[in-house]
Amino acid sequence: MKKHHLKLTEIDERYLTTLTSKGQLSARVFRRTTALLQLHGGATFSAAAQQVRVVPQTIARWRTAYLENGLQCLFDRQRLGRPHKFDGKQRARLTALACSAAPSGYARWSLRLLADRAVELSLCETISRSAVRGILKKTCFNRTAKRRGASAR
């Protein structure tokens, strides 16, 4: 006699089966769905864990989450985090500043110059060089690239 670690409702079982058959799931949701269906089918924690390539403790945690929250356990909860320090307009203005001509006496913008000028222009109260670098990195900005119109070698 097999020990059933989980008994899904008929509606939940049908939903999970159709969800896996669609083929448009993230890997995390697919693993959780497959594991729950395996447990419902009578598989042990070890067998289900081996099937989806996780440890048995993870399967036990997913089963407990299903029993407590139902099908909401399939999806990750929204994570809290520190909000962005600079909004989209500030980022765009900093990128535009970096694309403009360098100040007189300089061949090109440095991260320090950009940070200082951003504070001078009241784009933000303070900004570090590493924050400027991070913003420009996310825009795929290359400070050393040749300007348009320059002849190629």
Q: Which of 76-80, 88-92, 148-152 comes out lowest in average pLDDT?
A: 148-152
**DSSP per-residue codes, 105-146:** T-SS--HHHHHHHHHHTTS-S---HHHHHHHHHHTT--TTSP
Name the residue ranges covered by the structural domains of the chain.
Answer: 10-74, 88-138
Residue 145 pLDDT > 70, yes or no? no
Looking at residue 1, what is its pLDDT? 41
pTM of the model: 0.54
Q: Which residue has the higher pLDDT, 78 or 86?
A: 86
The per-residue pLDDT of the chain, averaged, comes to 87
User: In the chain, how many H helices and how many E strands?
Assistant: 7, 0
User: What's the confidence (pLDDT) of residue 143?
Assistant: 56
- pLDDT tens digits along 38-58: 999 999 999 999 999 999 999
Q: What is the pLDDT of residues 91-112, one digit of tens each?
A: 999 999 999 999 999 999 999 9
Q: What is the mean pLDDT of residues 64-76?
A: 91
Q: What average pLDDT does range 126-133 have in this prediction?
A: 93
Instruction: Determine what percent of the chain is predicted with pLDDT higher than 70.
Output: 88
Nearest partner of 134 among 78, 101, 95, judged by Cα: 95
Name which of 24-33, 95-104, 141-150 the model is least confident about. Answer: 141-150
The rounded distance, in Å, linking the Cα atoms of 14 and 25 is 16
Q: What does the DSSP 8-state code read for residue 73? A: G
